């Protein structure tokens, strides 16, 4: 076998080795260009990689002299130019041979034309000749173009040389595809690891803001979106309120004009559904949004058919029943590309975890709340009251501070229940609890300690202070009675008060004295009774 045959075979073996090695992309492309140049005898080899975000081909690698590198490296030729150069009329055995004078190079942007003179031999290589081979993946999609120039033989390639060049380029395309798949796999693995980490960190978390902050950060880091915002629906007014952000400043997001669920719903149309996410072009979103909705302009936009160009990407957060809890708004992908199906699926998983954690956190928070609160009136319960009373007594002993304990009991509550029914009875209890809270400077000073019995703790309160609080309660009850509900006219209460340390300096005795004063008030009809003192 001749040395001229061995060299291309060595090149083929070298590119095959690169395919197995799956080196990092810059090193791989350098090796491919060098291998083609050395094995096939070309002085200049350039690798033009397709950039889908821009629909162009950027020269990322140049094997050859410094003049060629200076002229070509970093230049991005538009896809339309390559449509001209890869025309069917130039195709030959899978390569594209562009003879001198067949295209107007001046209209196609900068090119490298090596020094040399035109030869009279028709098979001689002309300085303005060009030779290109397309690199395609296994689905036929264009990955890039390899251009070769300055053959050391000085002659245009024959069919055998073109066959070898195409074979080398096909192997280079496989190596390039493998390297990209390996990089994608690593990114996907990182995304899954981050997803698992975020999922573990938000499990058992009750703070909505913290759950959403961690989810936004996870999406930002793992899926490489520069801007992420998580917003929750305010059930009182239907507004979508930002609670966390990554990339964006949360204060900036909150300062913008508020958006309602009604304004967002037109975007959540099945027409735009992709892997559980809603992806719209800017024009589609603008058509469906009210004109007063402020639009944030994306910064990382491209211009190719697969490019991100001010797209809208919204992922709904829904509870188990399908109700909308909030949304994730995602923008500015680092690669400037519309997200792939895998990326959207990962985004949907992040959203599902966030929604599950929000629902779980809400339930867990409610359980923790109910450990110390009454589920009906939302006041602190008897357990919290006992702990607080004992704490106040201990502080009073230590620091010499006084406080008053007031016990309240609804008058005729059984009759009200019997007359109007238990649902109205519950409504009356809630109404009285709200009156107590409104009558106090500190809402946490009110307690429901059982049935229709309530308690109030008043720090540093005199008997006159207690009378004023009870008077406010009576005033509010009268106002409630005039509001139109029939049962409200029957809502009344009696109060008994004891002071610490004047009446007792232990919790049990203080409560007993206040309770006795309460029943004295009921017996005498005086509304409020204090502990009798000698």
Kindly report, residue by residue over 325-356, the tens digit of the pLDDT: 999 999 999 999 999 998 999 899 889 988 88
Residue 357, judged by CB atoms within 10 A of its CB (0-12, 13-18, 19+), counts as buried
**Averaged confidence pLDDT in the chain:** 87
For the segment 495-514, the average pLDDT, to the nearest whole number, is: 94
Which of residues 423 and 200 earns the better pLDDT score?
Answer: 423
pTM score above 0.95: no
Q: Tell me, what DSSP letter sits at residue 124? A: B
Looking up tokens 């031999």 gives 121
- Looking at residue 1, its pLDDT comes to 38
Q: Is the pLDDT of residue 181 over 60?
A: yes
- Please, what is the end-to-end C-alpha distance for the chain in angstroms? 126
- The dihedral built from the CA positions of residue 162, 164, 165 and 171, taken in this order, carries a sign that is positive
CA angle 480, 486, 490 (to 5 degrees): 70
**Cβ neighbours of 223 (radius 10 Å):** 24
Rounded Cα distance between 45 and 68, Å, is 9
Contact yes or no for 330/308 (Cβ under 8 A): no
Which fold, 203-365?
Beta-Lactamase (3.30.450)
State residue 221 phi and psi, 5-degree precision: -80, -45
Contact yes or no for 449/429 (Cβ under 8 A): no
Q: Is the pLDDT of residue 9 over 60?
A: no
Percent above pLDDT 90 for the chain: 52
Catalytic residue among 56, 149, 374, 452: 452
- The dihedral built from the CA positions of residue 158, 159, 164 and 170, taken in this order, carries a sign that is positive
The most confident of 371-375, 488-492, 518-522, 529-533, by mean pLDDT: 518-522
State residue 23 phi and psi, 5-degree precision: -70, 175
Rounded Cα distance between 8 and 17, Å, is 14
Kindly report, residue by residue over 434-473, the tens digit of the pLDDT: 999 999 988 889 999 999 999 999 998 889 999 999 999 9
- Looking at residue 106, its pLDDT comes to 81
- The distance of Cα 534 from the centroid of its chain, to the nearest Å, equals 68
State residue 28 phi and psi, 5-degree precision: -60, -45
| Contacts with 140 (C-beta within 8 Å, 6 or more apart), sequence order | none
| Contacts with 183 (C-beta within 8 Å, 6 or more apart), sequence order | 25
Domain range annotation of the chain: 3-182, 203-365, 382-530
What residues are paired with 301 via a beta bridge?
none
Assign 298 to helix, strand or coil.
coil
- Looking at residue 5, its pLDDT comes to 46
Rounded Cα distance between 214 and 328, Å, is 13
For the segment 1-5, the average pLDDT, to the nearest whole number, is: 44
Contact yes or no for 382/450 (Cβ under 8 A): yes
Kindly report, residue by residue over 269-309, the tens digit of the pLDDT: 999 999 999 999 999 988 888 666 776 778 989 988 899 99
Kindly report, residue by residue over 238-259, the tens digit of the pLDDT: 899 999 999 999 998 998 888 8
Q: Is the pLDDT of residue 6 over 70?
A: no
Q: Is the pLDDT of residue 391 over 80?
A: yes
The superfamily in CATH containing domain 382-530 is Reverse transcriptase/Diguanylate cyclase domain (3.30.70.270)
- Looking at residue 51, its pLDDT comes to 92
Nearest Cα residue to 393 out of 402, 382, 381? 402
Summary count for the chain: helices (H), strands (E): 15, 19
Q: Name the CATH code of domain 3-182 (choices 3.30.465.10, 3.40.50.300, 3.30.450.40, 3.30.2130.30).
A: 3.30.450.40
Rounded Cα distance between 367 and 464, Å, is 39
How many alpha carbons fall within 13 Å on the CB side of residue 455?
23
Q: Is the pLDDT of residue 22 over 70?
A: no
How many alpha carbons fall within 13 Å on the CB side of residue 447?
21
Question: In what order do the strands lie in the sheet containing 528-530?
Answer: 446-450, 453-459, 403-410, 493-500, 528-530
Assign 531 to helix, strand or coil.
coil
56 is an active site residue: no
Fold identical between 203-365 and 382-530? no
Res. 521 pLDDT band, cuts 50 70 90: very high
State residue 401 phi and psi, 5-degree precision: -100, 150
């Amino acid at each position: 076998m001749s040395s001229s045959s061995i060299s291309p075979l060595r090149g083929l073996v070298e590119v095959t080795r690169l395919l197995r090695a799956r080196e990092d992309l810059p090193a791989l492309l350098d090796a491919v260009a060098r291998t083609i140049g050395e094995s096939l005898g070309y002085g200049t080899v350039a690798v033009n990689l397709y950039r889908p975000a821009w629909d162009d081909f950027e020269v990322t690698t140049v094997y050859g002299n410094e003049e060629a590198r200076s002229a070509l490296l970093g230049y991005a030729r538009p896809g339309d130019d390559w449509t001209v150069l890869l025309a069917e009329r130039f195709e030959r055995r899978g390569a594209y041979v562009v003879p001198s004078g067949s295209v107007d190079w001046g209209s196609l942007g900068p090119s490298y034309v090596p020094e040399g003179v035109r030869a009279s031999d028709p098979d001689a290589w002309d300085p303005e000749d060009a030779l290109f081979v397309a690199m395609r993946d296994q689905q036929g999609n264009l990955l890039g173009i390899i251009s070769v120039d300055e053959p050391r033989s000085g002659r245009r390639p024959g069919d055998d040389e073109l066959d070898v060049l195409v074979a080398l380029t096909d192997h280079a395309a496989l190596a390039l595809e493998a390297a990209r798949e390996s990089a994608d796999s690593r990114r996907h693995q990182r995304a899954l690891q981050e997803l698992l980490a975020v999922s573990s960190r938000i499990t058992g978390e009750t703070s909505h803001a913290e759950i959403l902050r961690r989810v936004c950060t996870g999406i930002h880091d793992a899926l490489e979106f520069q801007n992420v915002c998580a917003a929750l629906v305010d059930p009182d007014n239907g507004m979508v309120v930002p609670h966390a952000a990554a990339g964006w400043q949360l204060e900036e997001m909150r300062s913008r004009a508020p958006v309602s669920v009604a304004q967002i719903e037109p975007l959540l149309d099945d027409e735009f559904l992709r892997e559980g996410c809603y992806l719209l072009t800017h024009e589609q979103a603008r058509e469906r949004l009210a004109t007063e909705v402020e639009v944030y302009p994306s910064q990382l936009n491209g211009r190719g058919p697969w490019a991100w160009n001010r797209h809208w990407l919204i992922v709904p957060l829904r509870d188990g029943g399908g109700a909308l809890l909030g949304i994730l708004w995602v923008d500015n992908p680092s690669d400037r590309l519309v997200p792939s199906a895998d990326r959207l699926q990962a985004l949907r998983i992040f959203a599902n975890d966030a929604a599950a954690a929000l629902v779980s956190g809400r339930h867990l928070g409610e359980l923790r709340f109910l450990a110390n609160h009454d589920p009906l009136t939302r006041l602190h319960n008897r357990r919290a009251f006992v702990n607080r009373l004992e704490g106040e007594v201990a502080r009073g002993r230590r620091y010499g501070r006084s406080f008053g304990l007031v016990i309240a009991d609804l008058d005729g509550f059984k009759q009200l229940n019997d007359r109007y029914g238990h649902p109205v009875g519950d409504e009356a209890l809630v109404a009285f609890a709200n009156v107590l809270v409104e009558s106090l400077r500190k809402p946490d000073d009110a307690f429901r300690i059982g049935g229709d019995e309530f308690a109030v703790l008043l720090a540093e309160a005199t008997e006159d202070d207690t009378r004023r609080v009870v008077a406010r309660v009576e005033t509010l009850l009268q106002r409630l009675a005039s509001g139109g509900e029939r049962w409200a006219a029957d809502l009344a209460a009696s109060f008994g008060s004891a002071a610490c340390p004047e009446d007792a300096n232990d919790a049990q005795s203080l409560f007993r004295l206040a309770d006795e004063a309460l029943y004295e008030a009921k017996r005498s009809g005086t509304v409020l009774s204090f502990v009798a003192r000698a």
